[in-house]
């Protein structure tokens, strides 16, 4: 076997193993959690709007804490009507966890309700 092929194989192996390990770690971090590992056993609904900065921070918090939620677009006429009926106003973000309501970005209350 030519000497140049041996060097190529060795250098490729040196690069490939760390790369494979890094890729495997990345895949494990992004895999969805099973239902038994979910951070909140209750149903979570988030009334949110694209233009709302606090809403974006709330969604990021929920995502980082692996809390599954259903997003409800507060700019949708039907959702607006539902919010007005339920809450008496259209303030966002508003989160329903089970039967409890969280207004704004109250991470302590979200954690407490998800226990």
Angle, CA of 50, 32 and 94, to the nearest 5° = 30
Does residue 59 sit in the same domain as residue 105?
yes
Who has greater pLDDT, 32 or 115? 115
Does residue 25 sit in the same domain as residue 41?
no
Does residue 4 sit in the same domain as residue 39?
no
The CA distance from 23 to 102, in Å, is 38
Q: What is the DSSP string of 7-40?
A: HHHHHHHHHHHHHHHHHHHHHHHHSPPPGGG-S-
Structural domain of 62: 35-114
Structure tokens at 110: 């979200």
What's the pLDDT tens digit per position in 35-93? 335 689 999 999 999 999 999 999 999 999 999 999 999 999 999 999 999 999 999 99
Query: Which three-class secondary structure state does DSSP give residue 48?
Result: strand
Does residue 13 sit in the same domain as residue 40?
no
Position 98 pLDDT exceeds 90:
yes
How many structural domains does the chain have?
A: 2
Does residue 4 sit in the same domain as residue 46?
no
Q: What is the pLDDT of residue 115?
A: 87
Structure-token match 């009926």, residue found: 85
Name residues whose C-beta falls within 8 Å of residue 97's C-beta, 6 or more positions apart in sequence: 40, 42, 43, 44, 110, 113, 114
Neighbours of 84 (CB within 10 A): 11
Does residue 39 sit in the same domain as residue 27?
no
Radius of gyration from C-alpha coordinates of the chain: 23
């Amino acid at each position: 076997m030519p000497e140049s092929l041996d060097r190529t194989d060795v250098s490729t192996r040196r690069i490939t193993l760390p790369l494979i390990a890094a890729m495997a770690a990345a895949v494990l971090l992004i895999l969805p959690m099973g239902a038994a590992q979910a951070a909140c056993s209750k149903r979570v609904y988030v009334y949110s709007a694209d233009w709302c900065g606090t809403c974006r921070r709330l969604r990021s918090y929920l995502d980082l804490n692996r809390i599954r939620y259903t997003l409800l677009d507060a700019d949708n006429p039907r959702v607006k009507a539902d919010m007005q009926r339920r809450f008496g106003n259209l303030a966002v973000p508003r989160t329903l966890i089970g039967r409890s309501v969280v207004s704004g970005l109250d991470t302590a209350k979200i954690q407490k309700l998800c226990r």
